[in-house]
């Protein structure tokens, strides 16, 4: 495994995993109210959502230093609603409450309006994914263009969280690198807020704040680190329900503070069109069966770590979207390299679990949870297997000590990538907020 290249002689994988995860934050004991409610997460069932209307005064402030418009409001919800109401692609900074700040970015994509309903559905689905990629790209570019003073402010704000502070120390050798890592954390700690479909244009809105970045981050294209499994799964469902991700894929969701993990496979499939109701119902049933098979294959691919095998049955367009979704991640990044170690160790810790072995063999164990949802146009199936693990106790920072042996060479200890932040650990939850259900209709 890749991780073994970093292990000093006599240093066990269990010890390494403890070394990587020892820094669970103390802020878990003091929950902070959400800054805003994302419509896309509230339903996670359809791709068209009307964002809540803001109340109160929202001012647009011209900030020459920032190089972008700044929306200033009493609350984050009001500022976000004002940005969404502009119906324009772009990146806008948000300022709210006494010292809150963040960014909302809107990506857009068009699709052709034709008389062929199947072609329209396919075009709309492709536009959703393109708009999401456009928004994600705009967000990264927007943050990279910030002035040095703002970069420093972001780094300082993120460093107020114990987990992020330690991550920045270990992932960077100097202040400039710490500011760069802070921007990456913020850019990958967004929430999918809403999707709007106006005639032949799809707009996707993403929001990131220091608060969202401490609750959820994406260390690799196919991984999510969250404060709890339900939070990670809810974001996954929102992105699948909104059609913002490739039509088939998988995710590994981990909670570093407790050692919990969930393996997820998903598929989004178009439903054909037929004037006869009975035939239309059969088309929907067939689309669901295909989506279930693809989601199961994607889950198996995650468990076996064999992307070639499970993607071999996909069409070229689907494989292209999977590659596009992975853009922006480089194998040499500290966060990517470090998460590879954690992934290998977590997978090794469940290798003897019977349910995990069943997944590797291409079947769904009885403990698998299935979520089926969609609209008149598409059906999405998400399958989740959560291996039974003994949750680690969250240790306050004052009591934490690194577990690396004192005799390990300094150069070797330095080669171990430290974790990117996970947010404050949420109260333990044995069952994610997702259940096996019949088809959910909007």
Phi, psi at 180, each rounded to 5°: -65, -45
Q: Which residues of 369-408 are buried (b: 16+ CB within 10 A; e: fewer)?
A: bbbbbbbebbbbbbbbbbbeeeebebeeeeebeeebeeeb
- How many C-beta atoms surround the C-beta of residue 10 within 10 A? 9
Between CA 32 and CA 212 the distance in angstroms is 11
Determine the pLDDT at residue 362. 94
The tokens of 147 are what? 């002035």
As a whole-number percent, the residues of the chain with pLDDT over 70 amount to 77
Q: Is the pLDDT of residue 22 over 50?
A: no
Q: Is the pLDDT of residue 366 over 80?
A: yes
- pLDDT tens for residues 273-306? 999 999 999 999 999 999 999 999 999 999 999 9
Give the three-state DSSP class for 340: helix
- pLDDT tens for residues 390-409? 776 655 554 444 433 333 33
Q: Which helix or strand (DSSP H or E) is residue 194 part of?
A: strand 191-198
Report the candidate in 158, 146, 132 with the shortest Cα–Cα distance to residue 221: 132
pTM of this prediction?
Answer: 0.79
Between CA 13 and CA 348 the distance in angstroms is 9
- pLDDT tens for residues 24-57? 332 332 334 578 999 988 755 333 344 455 456 8
Q: Is the pLDDT of residue 7 over 70?
A: no
Q: Is the pLDDT of residue 331 over 90?
A: no
Q: Is the pLDDT of residue 166 over 70?
A: yes
Q: Which helix or strand (DSSP H or E) is residue 263 part of?
A: strand 260-270
Give the three-state DSSP class for 208: strand
């Amino acid at each position: 495994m890749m991780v073994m290249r970093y292990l000093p002689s006599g240093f066990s994988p269990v010890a390494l995993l403890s070394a990587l995860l020892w820094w669970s934050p103390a802020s878990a004991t003091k929950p902070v109210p959400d800054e805003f409610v994302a419509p896309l997460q509230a339903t996670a069932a359809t791709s068209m959502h009307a964002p809540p209307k803001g109340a109160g005064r929202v001012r647009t402030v011209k900030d020459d230093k920032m190089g972008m418009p700044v929306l200033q409001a009493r609350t984050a919800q009001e500022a976000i609603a004002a940005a969404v109401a502009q119906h324009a692609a772009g990146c806008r900074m948000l300022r709210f409450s006494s010292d809150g700040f963040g960014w909302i970015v809107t990506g857009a994509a068009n699709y052709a309006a034709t008389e062929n309903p199947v072609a329209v559905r396919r075009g709309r689905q492709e536009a959703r994914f393109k708009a999401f990629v456009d928004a994600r790209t705009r967000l990264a570019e927007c943050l990279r263009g910030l002035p040095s003073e703002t970069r420093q402010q972001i780094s300082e704000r993120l460093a107020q969280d114990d987990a992020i502070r330690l991550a920045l120390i270990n992932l960077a050798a100097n202040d400039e690198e710490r500011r760069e890592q802070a921007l990456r954390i913020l850019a990958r700690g967004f929430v999918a807020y809403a999707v709007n479909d106006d005639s032949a244009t799809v707009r996707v809105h993403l929001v990131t704040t220091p608060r969202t970045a401490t609750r959820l981050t994406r260390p690799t294209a196919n991984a999510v680190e969250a404060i709890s499994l339900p939070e990670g799964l809810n974001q996954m469902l929102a992105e699948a329900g909104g059609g913002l991700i490739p039509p088939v894929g998988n995710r590994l969701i981990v909670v570093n503070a407790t050692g919990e993990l969930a393996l997820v496979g998903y598929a989004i499939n178009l439903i054909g069109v037929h004037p006869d109701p009975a035939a239309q119902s059969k088309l929907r049933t067939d689309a669901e069966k295909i989506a279930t098979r693809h989601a199961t294959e994607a889950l198996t691919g995650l468990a076996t770590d064999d992307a070639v095998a499970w993607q071999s049955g996909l069409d070229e367009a689907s494989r292209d979207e999977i590659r596009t979704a992975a853009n922006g991640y480089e194998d040499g990044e500290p966060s990517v390299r470090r998460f590879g170690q954690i992934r290998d160790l977590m997978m090794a810790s469940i290798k003897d679990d019977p349910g995990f072995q069943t997944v590797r063999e291409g079947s769904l164990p009885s403990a698998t949870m299935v979520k089926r949802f969609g609209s008149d146009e598409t059906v999405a199936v998400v399958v989740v297997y959560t291996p039974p693990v003994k949750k680690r106790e969250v240790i306050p920072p004052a009591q934490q000590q690194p577990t690396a042996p004192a005799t390990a060479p300094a150069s070797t200890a330095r080669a171990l990538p430290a974790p990117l932040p996970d947010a404050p650990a949420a109260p333990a939850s044995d069952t994610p907020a997702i259940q096996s259900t019949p088809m959910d209709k909007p």
